[in-house]
Amino acid sequence: MVKKLLHTRYRVNDLERTVKFYRDALGLQETRRHKSPRGSELVFLKAIESDELIELCYFPDSGPVLVQSDLTHLAFEVESLVEFGKHLASLGYQYSDGPHIRENGSGFAFVDAPEGYEIELIQPPRSKDAAG
């Protein structure tokens, strides 16, 4: 049986542009970078409070990356979708869907990464103490 999820790989067309998005827009930290034995350029990133990594792979020999709609997405927790939306706007990005906020304060929104992979941002519900 498997023990834990270690990383998820996404192949990309423009490694540096994509790393910049994940680093600057999402705040992920680059943990390592290397070339695989077959020649893929790999960059590993992680969210501050997560152990799992995202592996970005640049391997042009396998052809261009064409991401179809609603194929896959990564989901990250944010404190405030409104504030995160302002942060995205300051970098020239915008939500592709949302934000959608529920009565309990929870909500979600999406932003597209450079190749078209969807990134879901999830705002947790307000605590009962904060809601009064």
pTM above 0.85, yes or no: yes
Q: What is the pLDDT of residue 70?
A: 84
CA gap 115, 13 in Å, rounded:
7
Q: Please count the CA atoms within 13 angstroms of the CA of 128 that sit on its side-chain side.
A: 0
Per-residue pLDDT tens listing for the chain (132 residues): 999 999 999 999 999 999 999 999 999 999 999 999 999 999 999 999 999 999 999 999 999 999 988 889 999 999 999 999 999 999 999 999 999 999 999 999 999 999 999 999 999 998 765 444
Q: What is the pLDDT of residue 127?
A: 77
Q: What is the pLDDT of residue 111?
A: 97
Go through the domains of the chain in sequence order and give each one's CATH number.
1-60 (3.10.180.10), 69-132 (3.10.180.10)
Q: Are β-strands 73-77 and 118-123 bridged in parallel, bridged antiparallel, or unpaired?
A: parallel
DSSP for 49-109, written as a single string? T-S-EEEEEE-GGG----PPTTS-EEEEE-S-HHHHHHHHHHTT---SEEEEE-TTS-EEE
Q: What is the pLDDT of residue 132?
A: 43
